[in-house]
Amino acid sequence: MRAVRRTAKEAIAALATLAVHESRVLPRVGRELAGWRGVAAAVPDPRLRDAALAALTEKASNVEAVAVFATLAPARDRPAVVRAVVALQVAIDYLDNLGERPGPDPLRDGLQLHRSLATAFVSEAERGDWYAHHPQREDGGYLDSLLEACREAFASLPSHTTVEAPARAAALRCGEGQSHTHAAVPSSAPLREWASRLAAPAGFEWWEAAAGASSSVAAHALIALAADAEASPEEAVLVEAAYFPAIGALTVLLDDLVDREADARFGEHNYLDYYGSTEVAAERLTSIVGLARAALPPLPRSARHAAILAGVLAFYLSSPGARTPFATTIRARLLRAGGPLVRALASILRLRGND
């Protein structure tokens, strides 16, 4: 009976989250992205301009997806959360594109560029020579403008001082993870060494911790928490622990699952390759789903966090990339582990065109 009540509560929260996301959040996201396209079009260097515009066009779905965290915020602070989340994710996606066109030392270049992300969560503006190791430099202030927008919106939230330090740490960790992941071909040794230093709990493989660190979801969840006027440091710790590494790892591992065949064609790094077999991968991802679900009940607005996790699983498991020969077993196991809500959401997304 308790499980039935929990499923019903999560289903109601999922429907409410979906309604707010589509009716209140996505229109504002669209306006924010349109504004940033105008700024990106003015970037002086043509290669940086192309990278900025491509990120806004090709990765707009990333921004729309992480904007779901704005549904956790009270209506009065939701616009500021949307602005902060959009600006931060656009910056991350832009830097991701630059990581695909690195300088002579890809890791050094990536780490320097991604250090900029920490400035989104500081009390005073900081500007660094982010392009010191990159072939192109003249972005017309585009990257700093994105991070300044995030910083100003974040600073307007009632509990930003409570959340500032963990949000900054999460953004830095994400940047370091992105940098090491891009540099992991041809050798993953530096990635593994970096992952071994992460403060991940026992029970996670090194590549699972690295995948979780590379995700931006912990930073976005903390931005949303900053909109809670009664947020405490203890709650910030709980939110951080729920999203890193478990939920963050799922977002990256499932993204690699649906992109695995394309990554193999182009020689790209893929975290699923570290598993010995499909069966092992299915077992581990199922275990991570369990860990993620177990971390949610103590969180404020836990039902909405559970709805977000269900949405993450459903989104990826409804993708055609999750129905390849390699992915079939993993998909089946995760649909069972996710429960009826994930299965229902996956069916809805498939019918709505996630194919």
Give residue 4's pLDDT: 58
Give residue 3's pLDDT: 61
Q: Does residue 26 contact residue 64 with C-beta atoms inside 8 Å?
A: yes
Give me the average pLDDT of each 10-residue run along the chain (355 residues).
Answer: 68 88 96 98 98 98 97 97 98 96 93 97 86 96 97 98 98 98 94 96 96 98 98 98 98 97 95 96 98 96 95 96 95 95 91 68
Residues 6+ apart with CB under 8 A from 47: 101, 135, 136
Each residue's pLDDT tens digit, 212-232: 999 999 999 999 999 999 999
Round to whole Å and give the CA distance between 167 and 304. 20
Decide: helix, strand or coil at residue 27.
Answer: helix
CA atoms within 13 A on the CB side of 90: 30
Round to whole Å and give the CA distance between 139 and 283. 45
Identify residue 26 by its one-letter amino acid code: L
Give residue 7's pLDDT: 67
Residues 6+ apart with CB under 8 A from 61: none
Q: Where are the beta strands (DSSP E) in 65-147?
A: none
Decide: helix, strand or coil at residue 169.
Answer: helix
Taking alpha carbons only, the member of 3, 47, 263 closest to residue 135 is 47
Identify residue 75 by its one-letter amino acid code: A
Residues 6+ apart with CB under 8 A from 18: 311
7: exposed, middle or buried (Cβ count in 10 Å: 0-12, 13-18, 19+): middle
Give residue 2's pLDDT: 64
Round to whole Å and give the CA distance between 179 and 163. 24
Q: Distance between alpha carbon 68 and the CA centroid of its chain, in Å? A: 11
Give residue 101's pLDDT: 87
Question: Whole-prediction pTM value?
Answer: 0.95
Four-residue CA torsion sign, 197, 87, 270, 139: negative
Q: Does residue 36 contact residue 93 with C-beta atoms inside 8 Å?
A: no
Element (H, E) at 338: helix 328-349
Round to whole Å and give the CA distance between 136 and 151. 25
DSSP 195-245: HHTS-PPTT--HHHHHHHHH-SHHHHHHHHHTT-TT--HHHHHHHHHHIII
